[in-house]
C-alpha cells in the first residue's frame, strides 16, 4: 500500500467512524428528550416526587422512578463485533461489512437508596445496550423485556417511537426486577472494626443480584 492508498483508507475509515458517532449521539439526544418527557408526564399524573430526570453531562443522564434509577450512558468510541458474534452471520452485515461498526448506549439499573445513602459499594446491573450503525439501524442486547432479535438489525431504524418503547421497557424490567435477600452465609460474620468504622447500612453490599457483568437470563 503506497502513501496515496494509505491516506485514502484512513480518510474512508475516519468518515465511517464519524458517521456512526454522529448517529449514536443523535440517538442519545432523543433518549434524553424522551426520558425527560416520560418522567415529567408520570410525575404530573401521579403527583409524585419519585419521578425525576437528571442530566449528568453530554453523554450521561439518569431517571428515577420509585425504588429504581436507570443510568443511560453513551460510549464515545465506535466498536466492531468479533467474528464469532451472531450479528456477523447476518446477510445484512455480509452485504456490507461497514454495517458492523456501531456506537453503543448502555442502560444500567441501580437502587435509588444506593444514591440516597451514598452506598458506594452497592452494585448496578447492565440490563441492556443499544448498538447503532452508519445506516442508523440498531439492535439491542439485553434482558427479555428489552432485547431484540439480531435479525431485526436490517429493518430497525432509530426514531423517537422506538426509543420511547425502549425506555418504557427498561423501566418495566427494573420495576419487576426485585431485590433479593443476600445469602446468610455471606453476611453472618463481621468484625468489630467494620461495625465501628461505618453505619451498618453502608457496610453491606446491596444489589438486586450480585455482579455487574452483563449476562442474559436463562428464562
Q: pLDDT in tens for each of the 219 residues of the chain?
A: 899 889 999 999 999 999 999 999 999 999 999 999 999 999 999 877 789 999 999 999 999 999 999 999 999 999 999 999 989 999 999 999 999 999 999 999 999 988 888 887 788 888 899 999 999 999 998 866 566 656 689 999 999 999 999 999 999 989 987 655 555 565 555 655 555 665 554 445 555 554 333 333 343
Does residue 214 form part of some domain? Answer: no
d(CA 34, CA 124): 23
d(CA 31, CA 159): 10
Does residue 208 form part of some domain? Answer: no
Does residue 209 form part of some domain? Answer: no
Number of neighbouring beta carbons within 10 Å of residue 151 = 15
User: In this structure, are residues 127 and 174 in contact, taking their beta carbons and an 8 Å threshold?
Assistant: yes
Does residue 196 form part of some domain? Answer: yes
Number of neighbouring beta carbons within 10 Å of residue 23 = 21
- State how many domains the chain has: 1
d(CA 72, CA 63): 8
Sign of dihedral through CA atoms 69, 161, 92, 150?
positive
d(CA 31, CA 53): 12
pLDDT of residue 183: 56
Does residue 215 form part of some domain? Answer: no
d(CA 94, CA 90): 6
Phi/psi-derived region of residue 47, left when phi > 0, alpha when psi is between -120 and 50, beta in every other case = left
What H or E segment, with its residue span, contains residue 46?
Answer: helix 3-46
Q: For Cα atoms 86, 101, 159, give the angle at the middle one, nearest 5 degrees.
A: 95
Domain that holds residue 74: 3-203
d(CA 197, CA 192): 9
Cell representation of residue 164? 420511547
d(CA 56, CA 73): 10
Does residue 74 form part of some domain? Answer: yes
Does residue 30 form part of some domain? Answer: yes
Cell representation of residue 116? 440516597
Does residue 118 form part of some domain? Answer: yes
pLDDT of residue 217: 39
Amino acid at each position: 500500500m503506497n502513501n496515496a492508498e494509505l491516506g485514502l483508507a484512513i480518510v474512508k475509515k475516519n468518515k465511517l467512524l464519524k458517521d456512526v458517532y454522529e448517529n449514536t449521539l443523535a440517538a442519545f439526544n432523543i433518549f434524553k428528550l424522551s426520558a425527560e418527557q416520560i418522567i415529567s408526564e408520570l410525575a404530573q399524573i401521579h403527583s409524585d416526587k419519585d419521578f425525576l430526570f437528571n442530566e449528568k453531562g453530554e453523554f450521561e443522564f439518569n431517571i428515577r422512578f420509585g425504588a429504581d434509577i436507570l443510568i443511560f450512558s453513551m460510549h464515545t468510541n465506535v466498536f466492531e463485533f468479533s467474528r464469532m458474534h451472531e450479528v456477523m452471520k447476518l446477510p445484512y452485515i455480509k452485504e456490507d461489512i461497514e454495517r458492523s461498526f456501531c456506537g453503543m448506549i448502555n442502560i444500567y439499573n441501580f437502587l435509588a437508596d444506593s444514591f440516597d445513602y451514598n452506598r458506594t459499594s452497592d452494585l448496578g446491573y447492565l440490563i441492556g445496550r443499544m448498538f447503532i450503525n452508519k445506516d442508523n439501524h440498531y439492535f439491542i442486547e439485553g434482558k427479555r423485556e428489552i432485547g431484540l432479535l439480531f435479525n431485526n438489525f436490517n429493518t430497525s431504524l432509530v426514531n423517537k417511537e422506538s426509543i420511547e418503547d425502549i425506555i418504557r421497557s427498561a423501566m418495566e424490567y427494573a420495576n419487576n426486577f426485585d431485590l433479593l435477600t443476600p445469602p446468610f452465609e455471606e453476611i453472618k460474620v463481621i468484625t468489630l472494626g467494620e461495625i465501628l468504622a461505618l453505619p451498618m447500612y453502608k457496610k453491606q453490599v446491596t444489589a438486586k443480584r450480585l455482579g455487574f457483568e452483563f449476562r442474559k437470563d436463562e428464562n
